[in-house]
A and B are shown apart, each in its own frame.
Chain A
Amino acid sequence: MSLTAVSTTARLPDLSRVPAVDEVGVNERVARFQSRSIKTTAKAEALRMILSMIDLTTLEGQDTPGKVRQLCQKAIHLHDSIPGLPHVAAVCVYPNMVAVAREALEGHDINIASVATAFPSGMSSLEVKLDDTRMAVDAGANEIDMVISRGAFLAGEYAYVFDEIAAIKEACGDAHLKVILETGELGTLDRVRRASVLAMHAGADFIKTSTGKIQPAATMQVTLVMLQAIRDYFYETGRMVGMKPAGGISTSKLAIHYLVMLRETLGQAWMTPEWFRFGASSLANDVLMQIARQATGVYQSADYFSKD
């Protein structure tokens, strides 16, 4: 498969038409989301929704099959002492751990997401990236989290980045493609917006903020800009694209702010795990502690919730 063959099916959009982004205005809007007061029933509902949207993640060099199996158990049994909890949306692992996860999650309706494309830097050839992707898909991943070539993007080689995404999309087959922009390396919100537009036009099913390996990872600011890009793309094409902020979201309070932002930017249709995910490793337990507190009225200790 050649790059040119792909680019005939999707076209690089005119990025000069992407609206400018004013950072201060974005900060002000984010502050408004944060000033929403989510209490009682709204909070209870939100906490459960957050659990169901989590991509429970382990992406470390020291990951082993044992660690991944434990993570999968956590995904299935978040906290059995509270009945009726949803399970997470997916587990997210490296390609060589996909098979382990697949076996561990057998019979459960939990997706397997795999990072691919020379994650996290993406500093490799397209062929290696395609192989990486195919390997994960073949091992049973039904979601692929790819990284864009930030170097090429910053150098203005938009067509290269676009074609690469389109090629990976094709390699994904039926697997959903999440495109990681690694916003912490893009530097400005204007670039975040342009990269979002580029990724969606190239075929992304989801756009995702970060690998979690670079600081800053997800922020409400970049997520807002990406949500607005999704909305504009939806206005234009009618196609829904999902959103996944990843990294740095570890408290329920912050996750609820994200839900507020989602609700007020894209509306109700996006408020499901099908269209919104949190990429997080420690968020689930904080949410569980909040749910327990709401149920018991007593503030909780982390010691009572399994780490994984």
Chain B
Amino acid sequence: MATPENKLAFDGGWDYAPAPESTDHARIDKRYGLFIGGDFVSPEKGRYFDTINPANEQKLARVAKGSELDVDKAVKAARKAYAGPWGRMKAKERGKYVFRIARMIAERSREFAAIESLDGGKPIRESRDIDVPLASAHFFYYAGWADKLEYAFPGRRAKPLGVAGQIIPWNFPLLMAAWKLAPALACGNTVVLKPAETTPLTALKLAELIADADLPPGVVNVVTGAGDTGAAIVTHPGVDKIAFTGSTGVGRIIQRALAGTKKKYTLELGGKAANIIFADAAIDQAVEGIVNGIFFNQGHVCCAGSRLLVQESVADEVIQKLKDRMETLIVGDPLDKNTDIGAINSKMQLEKIDSYLEIGQQEGAEMYQSSVSVPKSGYWCRPTIFTGVAQSNRVVQEEIFGPVLAIQTFRSFDEAVEKANNTPYGLSGGVWTDKGAKIFKMTQSVRAGVIWANTFNKFDPTSPFGGYKESGVGREGGLHGLDAYVRLEA
């Protein structure tokens, strides 16, 4: 469609000057211990690891590497709090503590946002406008449930499970902590939380906040570390429930490890969502939906719309508009308020993404990247699309977890459904059409836990989230998210 004469130009001319968010208000200690029993304590084996800023590869802090001994201490502290003050507390009082956490996060939101972007690489616009406010909102939402659980489970009495072990990922460090902690606490459980190895800081700041909020010691414990720390939580006999968000591979290992135990579990795993655009869609908003679907948070999103299915008759138009839109995406300093795509979270993740860029090209797909310049140090990936891909290609089948979109076309409704569902995953899906009846038919046909119709990547504390098939077990958020943290008695 585009000829040299009718090509838009986004380079040159008026440009945005750097607009860095100040970090004066963000306090990061040189070294963090483990938050156990209400205090920060040194790890038993005295080991620490660095957490770095992925945008410049510089060290931000030393963080304790929790061992089995530390996990055991944390579980015991959690058990003590469960058997003691937290377990005995009236539900409405418990709720007030959770409300308090919500409010205090809002008060310190600028600090949390800055640290989230420093430690994880995500743009400050997102940590400021999405991650932190949503985290606060999650606590506020679940706080109110604490003394109303009898209305959530008709005909049943909801009892807490005990000690919950919660293992969270690096893509939304604070928000995932909130997703896990808020319902667990509201339902009366105590918690041992393990943040991801590459992004421990906001969970540790949250631990500080929780101490300031005066929660009884041991109600929330934060043990930092890597995979083996997580494994120690999963296998600890004193844990009653495991909540995990992360890759399907690790989820499978956890599910196996829990086999034969009485531990309940919820798993929120990978995805390869189809974002389906029909010819009668509001095309310009659909293009925004594609952008939000795959480039939000550098594509480090389990529910990312990483497969675009576009109806053949509008495919050229959509791709041209998408390419022009990609030219306006700013990649760079996560702390710059104008940055759209920040740093890739870690070197390891960047290598994985880069390997898929290789694979995609080897498979014969055509790769297109925006012309944006990226900084020299740090981990970066330009927004990328693959066209000419087949359903059998690995870039269509496998979760890349980066700003990489595979584009396929379809002709009929049934073909779109078939392609959308032809995946082991089932976390989310997108549908774009101006026809109401078609929306409902499509939302019923796509096998996924969250369907965004004429929108994408929207989150709210009241809205359940979680997947079908290999995308996981259970829901987080909303009324349905309470299930994960209660045992129902007749």
Say whether A associates with B.
yes
Please, how many residues of chain A have a CB less than 8 angstroms from a CB on the other chain?
Answer: 36
26 contacting pairs across A/B (C-beta < 8 A): A19-B284, A20-B280, A20-B281, A21-B285, A22-B282, A22-B454, A25-B282, A25-B455, A35-B129, A35-B337, A36-B16, A36-B338, A37-B16, A38-B16, A42-B14, A46-B14, A231-B8, A231-B324, A238-B6, A259-B14, A263-B10, A264-B10, A267-B8, A268-B11, A268-B12, A269-B9
Residue from B2, B12, B434 within 8 A of A20 (CB atoms):
B434
Residues of B within 8 A of A (CB): 1-3, 5-6, 8-17, 19, 125, 129, 280-285, 288-289, 317, 320, 324, 328, 337-338, 434, 454-455
Within 5-47 of A, Cβ neighbours of B (below 8 Å) are at: 19-22, 24-26, 28-29, 35-43, 45-46
Give every chain B residue within 8 A of A263 (Cβ-Cβ): 10, 13-14, 328
**CB-based contact A49/B14 at 8 Å:** yes
Give every chain B residue within 8 A of A269 (Cβ-Cβ): 8-9
Nearest B residue (CB) for A38: B16
Q: Contacts A22-B282, A237-B6 given; 14 further ones with Cβ under 8 A?
A: A19-B281, A20-B283, A25-B282, A25-B284, A28-B288, A36-B16, A37-B338, A38-B19, A236-B1, A238-B5, A238-B6, A263-B328, A268-B12, A269-B8
* Interface of A: prevailing SS: helix
**CB-based contact A264/B328 at 8 Å:** yes
- How many Cβ-Cβ contacts under 8 Å join chain A to chain B? 91
A229 CB → nearest B CB, Å: 9
A52 CB → nearest B CB, Å: 12
Q: How far is the CA of A269 from the CA of B7 in the complex (A)?
A: 10
Nearest B residue (CB) for A24: B455
Give every chain A residue within 8 A of B320 (Cβ-Cβ): 235
Nearest A residue (CB) for B19: A37
A266 interface residue per 8 A CB criterion: yes
* Interface of B: prevailing SS: loop
- Of the listed residues A29, A37, A238, A268, the one surrounded by the most CB atoms of chain B closer than 10 A to its CB is A37
A139 interface residue per 8 A CB criterion: no
**CB-based contact A25/B2 at 8 Å:** no
Q: How far is the CA of A40 from the CA of B282 in the complex (A)?
A: 37
**CB-based contact B282/A21 at 8 Å:** yes
Do A39 and B6 form a contact, CB below 8 Å, given A22-B285, A24-B455, A28-B288? Answer: no
A259 CB → nearest B CB, Å: 7
Nearest B residue (CB) for A235: B6
Q: How far is the CA of A1 from the CA of B31 in the complex (A)?
A: 84
Q: How far is the CA of A24 from the CA of B6 in the complex (A)?
A: 29
Give every chain A residue within 8 A of B283 (Cβ-Cβ): 19-20
Residue from A25, A43, A228 within 8 A of B17 (CB atoms):
A43
Q: How far is the CA of A266 from the CA of B324 in the complex (A)?
A: 9
Residue from B17, B280, B289, B328 within 8 A of A40 (CB atoms):
B17
Residue from B6, B8, B285 within 8 A of A25 (CB atoms):
B285
Q: How far is the CA of A36 from the CA of B6 in the complex (A)?
A: 27
Q: How far is the CA of A238 from the CA of B6 in the complex (A)?
A: 5
A232 CB → nearest B CB, Å: 8
**CB-based contact A268/B6 at 8 Å:** no
Q: How far is the CA of A35 from the CA of B128 in the complex (A)?
A: 11
Give every chain B residue within 8 A of A49 (Cβ-Cβ): 14
Give every chain B residue within 8 A of A259 (Cβ-Cβ): 14
Q: How far is the CA of A43 from the CA of B5 in the complex (A)?
A: 31
**CB-based contact B15/A42 at 8 Å:** yes
